[in-house]
Amino acid sequence: MNDDSILCSFTDGVASITLNRPDKLNSLNEQMHRQIAAFLDRIEAAPELRVLVLTGAGRAFCSGQDQSDRKPLPPGQRRDMGQALEQYYKPLVLRLRALPAPVVCAMNGLAVGVGASLVLACDIVIAKRSAYFIQGFTKLGLMPDGGATQFLPQLVGPARAIGMAMLNEKLEAAQAAEWGLIWRCVDDAEFEQASAALIAQLARAATRALALTKLAIYEASSHVLTRQLDLEIRSQRELGLTQDYLEGASAFLEKRAAAFQGM
């Protein structure tokens, strides 16, 4: 499933979305959102799905919303800045978080504005050392969106979140990893190999266990301890009935590597 601005593939359980407008720093427009949504329709219920990878072409991951994609308004008319968020970004972020498989962002370059929010909506982020974040919203007289006002304080604390949002300073990938904003920063020369190894590791894992782990961790911030413990009980019961658990337990007793099938 390919077009000029989005490249999608789904092979051997690994689904991939590449933002492919390098001349526009992969800024997002309506066509790209429709293509991403259609691809998610295809993969999110596929039993063979093991991992989804998001990345960008060229020197950017995503520079945010393509402002030139918005049609000019008649004189005196004001734009509804919540419309695109409600129609495209909110559903996209929620679908990534709910996907029953890990979502990896291979952050190949800069992530600005809602492009940074898209990175943080992913489950595991591996970034080039040359990559960086900029919030940038307040430079336009706007506030962070795409989930950023929740992701940032949860990951780095309110003091750093407010500084990032209000001052719009560049945050290098190495600093982002040190702060806990992303999983790992690697040298540019090692990025392709390290990303491929991470994706392969997740694709070989017990997919349902990863999905329920992801769900439990994201739910924890809104749960009291008793409710979280109940969620763990329900999830562990479900996992105990899977073929992957039987394989994992057998492999442990037999002192061999488990061969998980994602079931």
Number of other CB atoms surrounding residue 142 within 10 Å? 12
- Residue-wise pLDDT tens digits, 191-200: 999 999 999 9
pLDDT of residue 89: 94
C-alpha 204/C-alpha 102 separation (Å) is 12
**More confident position, 74 or 139:** 139
Q: Which two tokens stand for residue 255?
A: 């002192």
String of DSSP letters for 237-254: HHHTTSHHHHHHHHHHHT
pLDDT of residue 120: 97
> CA dist 164 to 92, 155, 226, Å?
23, 12, 34
C-alpha 27/C-alpha 21 separation (Å) is 7
Opening angle at CA 220, ends 218 and 226, nearest 5: 150
Place 72 in a pLDDT band, splitting at 50, 70 and 90.
Answer: low
Half-sphere exposure of 84 (CA within 13 A, CB side): 19
What are the φ/ψ torsions at residue 79 (nearest 5 degrees)?
-80, 140
pLDDT of residue 255: 93
Threshold 0.85, pTM exceeds: yes
Are 56 and 19 contacting, i.e. CB atoms less than 8 angstroms apart? yes
C-alpha 2/C-alpha 11 separation (Å) is 14
String of DSSP letters for 11-55: ETTEEEEEE--GGGTT-B-HHHHHHHHHHHHHHTT-TT--EEEEE
